[in-house]
Amino acid sequence: MATNGDFSSSLNTKETLSVATGQRNVDAERKDVPQRATDIPATTGWRQWYLAFTSILPIYVAVHVAFVITTVFSVLFILPDFSRRSMPLVTLGQAWDHWDTKGYLAIAMHGYDTLPKIGFFPLYSMVIKCILLLIHNPLLAGAIVSNLAGLVLLVVLYRLVQEDFGHVRAYRTVLYLSLFPAAFFLAAAYSESLFLCLSVLAFYSLRRGRWWLAGLFGFLACLTRLAGILMLLPFFYEYLRQHHFSIKAIRFDILSSLLLPAGIGLFALYCYFRFSDPLAFAHVQQAFWGHQLHVPGYLFCTVPVFSASKPFVTALI
């Protein structure tokens, strides 16, 4: 005959088994639920951004001072009496007004009034057009856009590298980019600084799992340069990596990747209505600048210094 103690013991055992079974069910359910789409904390204190800004600012200032000094000496060599007294300030600005700068500024002032201009993508000139509402110097407006974008680029790049590799490598990354021989394009009225700024912002958003924001920055980057479409590859990789390469974990936000080709598609649509050719930008770049897709190794067959190896390279490709 069962006693009250036996009944209580049996009841406690059943409750323990029930709790344990319930805990196992909860654990099983948690395994089925996909983890957070990012392995980086969602919040970032303003102090981290302030630290990034103060870390890159000396590099940014020093490099721009070097650009000014180099410009002054380069202009001095073309003056008749080799004297700074005959060098007005506007002459220093004109030293940066060459090549693609003229194209971007012409689009900002007059739009795509001729076919050759369509080879330049529109966003950079559109931003300059907005700045021209405040100032009436196109070259200065272009310089403001490029240099502000370059500053934001260095800050975001510092944060992107710092979150994975620490402050030392982040500082070195910014330093090496700033000292790169072609880094002066980031200060000129070219679209490079804006394009890189938007690209790094897209990568930073990807690392934090903000897919729609990354898609927006990618959309703007594709409106700046055609090369922006190449960000689709790291976009898909980072999305799958943060979802553990599981097809079942893919959600609706994967559609944010479509914003990248949408940028080029929007410009192609404009080209169609303006010049009756949706690929007018590609055709102009090929006709005027020789830009076109080639198989790897094609450059070695065209550069004279490698002409001796042309038969060998041709055989490889």
Domain boundary among 189, 210, 231: 210
pLDDT digits (tens, 9 = 90+) for 13-33: 444 444 444 444 434 443 433
For residue 61, being part of any structural domain is answered with yes
For residue 16, being part of any structural domain is answered with no
For residue 37, being part of any structural domain is answered with no
Domain boundary among 193, 210, 227: 210
For residue 128, being part of any structural domain is answered with yes
pLDDT at 205: 96
Query: Taking residues 287-310, what's their average pLDDT?
Result: 62
Domain boundary among 177, 193, 210: 210
Residue range(s) defining the domain that contains residue 307: 280-317
For residue 106, being part of any structural domain is answered with yes
| Structural domain count, the chain | 2
pLDDT digits (tens, 9 = 90+) for 177-189: 999 999 999 999 9
If one compares 266 and 98, the residue with the highest pLDDT of the two is 266
DSSP string computed for 127-192: HHHHHTTT-S-HHHHHHHHHHHHHHHHHHHHHHHHHHHH-HHHHHHHHHHHHHSGGGGGGTSSSSH
Least confident of 176-185, 238-247, 284-293: 284-293
Q: Which residues contact 5 (CB under 8 A, 6 or more apart)?
A: none
Same domain for 191 and 316? Answer: no
Instruction: Supply the mean pLDDT for the chain.
Output: 81
Same domain for 80 and 206? Answer: yes
Compute the distance between CA of residue 179 and CA of residue 198 in angstroms, rounded to an integer. 20
If one compares 76 and 19, the residue with the highest pLDDT of the two is 76
Cβ–Cβ under 8 Å, residues 185 and 193: yes
Q: What percent of the chain has pLDDT over 70?
A: 74
- Give the model's confidence band at 87: pLDDT under 50 very low, under 70 low, under 90 confident, else very high: low
Same domain for 314 and 171? Answer: no
pLDDT at 301: 65
pLDDT at 316: 32
